């Protein structure tokens, strides 16, 4: 078993452990001195690492997605742990268990997939159900759908994260559609199930998370658009107007041009899909940040998705609860009866 996880790092300690290389760069200081900068990780998170001297030879023996054994000093910088590397080498194949290094959903993936199938079965529109089944039951898609993260970093960034996000979003869509009966719940849920399906090809997730060449060139919105369009075209007599609505859900779900949407949401279900997708994404990002030990006092480290640190409200309230600090009525200061 791995000796020290990222989540257990404590400032001012010296550690020896094995990590997965998430990224690797040779950078230069303002004075022009080169240094090694790495992002190292395991299933509990990532940590930045730097090596200032003597890195040239060992740095040539490993690359991104390799395992490395390091000796390092843990330092706190702007509220986040980082590693000052003293020694580093490529780890041997039998020194690392891959299961220790790739984060995954805390939920049972098969139960998540069963919940997705249940959502598909609840779609009453026969055309939309055929379309959803053609995607969610495709033997070439299902294994990747069960494994893919929903993002590289921002939210649900773990194996099974995409499926967890989709199932959660479907529940949100059902709840909100019940509040607004004019909403076409079938169309909204269809958008929830299909909106991020392009991520199974956009992202790479065998070890560290990154972008495929197709993902870099096209992005998940265009990949999903093409994938779903082909599926609709393969269904005989699929209504052209319904296909256009589904396509619009896919290309507008980011909500704004500056966030990568080719079009703005232009009908009720498209607006709802964007807002609910954003809600689920941000709440998941907040959950991950609040569960991380990084930060100072009652505050977390900076949340990249929101561009701010977050207050740990339970900790904040508990520390300032007068009932916790004041002695019970009738109790003497020393703890005995008065």
pLDDT tens profile 186-205: 999 999 999 999 999 999 88
Q: Quickly state the pLDDT bin for 324 (edges 50, 70, 90).
A: low
Establish how many alpha carbons lie within 13 A of residue 243's alpha carbon, considering only the half-sphere containing its beta carbon: 16
Looking up tokens 């490993």, which residue turns up?
A: 62
Alpha-carbon distance of 42 to 59, in angstroms, equals: 19
* Residues 275-302 pLDDT 10s: 999 999 999 989 888 888 778 889 998 8
Look up the pTM and report it: 0.80
Q: Residue 157 — pLDDT band, cuts 50, 70, 90? A: confident
Give the whole-angstrom CA distance, residue 324 versus residue 334: 16
Percent of the chain with pLDDT over 70: 94
Phi/psi-derived region of residue 90, left when phi > 0, alpha when psi is between -120 and 50, beta in every other case: beta
CA atoms within 13 A on the CB side of 45: 18
6-100: which CATH topology? Answer: OB fold (Dihydrolipoamide Acetyltransferase, E2P) (2.40.50)
Could you tell me if 134 and 236 are in contact, meaning their C-beta atoms sit under 8 angstroms apart?
Answer: no
Q: Answer for the pair 148, 161: CB distance below 8 angstroms, yes or no.
A: yes
Interacting residues of 39 by C-beta distance below 8 A, sequence separation 6+: 21, 22, 23, 46, 47, 48, 49
Could you tell me if 151 and 135 are in contact, meaning their C-beta atoms sit under 8 angstroms apart? no
Please list the residues that pair with 80 across neighbouring strands: 77
Residue 320 above 60 pLDDT?
Answer: yes
DSSP 203: E
- Does 116 have pLDDT greater than 60? yes
Distances 306 to 54, 108, 283, 285, 303 between C-alpha atoms, Å: 38, 28, 10, 8, 6
**What pairs with residue 51 in β-bridges?**
36
Numbered ranges of CATH 2.40.50.140 in the chain: 6-100
What CA–CA distances, in Å, run from 218 to 211, 221, 319?
11, 8, 49
SS3 of residue 295 by DSSP: strand
């Amino acid at each position: 078993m791995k000796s020290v996880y990222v989540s257990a790092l404590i400032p001012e300690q010296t550690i020896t452990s094995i990590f997965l290389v998430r990224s690797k760069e040779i950078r230069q200081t303002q004075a022009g001195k080169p240094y090694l900068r790495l992002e190292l990780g395991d299933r509990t998170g990532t940590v930045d690492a730097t090596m200032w001297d003597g890195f040239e030879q060992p740095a040539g023996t490993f690359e991104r997605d390799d395992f490395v054994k390091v000796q390092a000093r843990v330092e706190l910088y702007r509220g986040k742990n980082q590693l000052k590397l003293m020694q580093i080498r490529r780890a041997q194949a039998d020194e690392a268990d891959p299961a220790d290094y790739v984060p995954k959903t805390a939920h049972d993936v098969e139960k998540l997939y069963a919940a997705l199938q249940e959502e598909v079965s609840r779609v009453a529109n026969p055309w939309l159900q055929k379309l959803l089944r053609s995607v969610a039951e495709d033997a070439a898609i299902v294994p990747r759908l069960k494994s893919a993260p929903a993002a590289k970093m921002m939210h649900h960034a773990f194996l099974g994260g995409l499926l967890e996000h989709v199932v959660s979003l479907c529940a949100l869509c059902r709840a909100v559609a019940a509040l607004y009966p004019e909403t076409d719940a079938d169309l909204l849920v269809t958008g929830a199930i299909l909106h991020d399906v392009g991520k199974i090809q956009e992202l790479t997730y065998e070890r560290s998370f990154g972008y495929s060449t197709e993902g870099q060139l096209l992005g998940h919105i265009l990949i999903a658009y093409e994938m779903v369009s082909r599926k609709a075209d393969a269904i005989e007599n699929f209504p052209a107007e319904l296909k256009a609505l589904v396509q619009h859900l896919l290309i507008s779900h980011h909500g704004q041009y500056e966030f990568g949407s080719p079009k703005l949401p232009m009908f009720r279900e498209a607006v709802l899909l964007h807002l609910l997708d954003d809600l689920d994404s941000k709440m998941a990002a907040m959950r991950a940040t609040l569960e991380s030990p990084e930060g100072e006092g009652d505050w977390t480290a900076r949340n990249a998705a929101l561009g701010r640190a977050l207050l740990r409200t339970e900790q904040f309230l508990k520390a300032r609860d007068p009932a916790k600090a004041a002695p019970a009525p009738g109790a003497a200061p020393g703890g005995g009866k008065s």
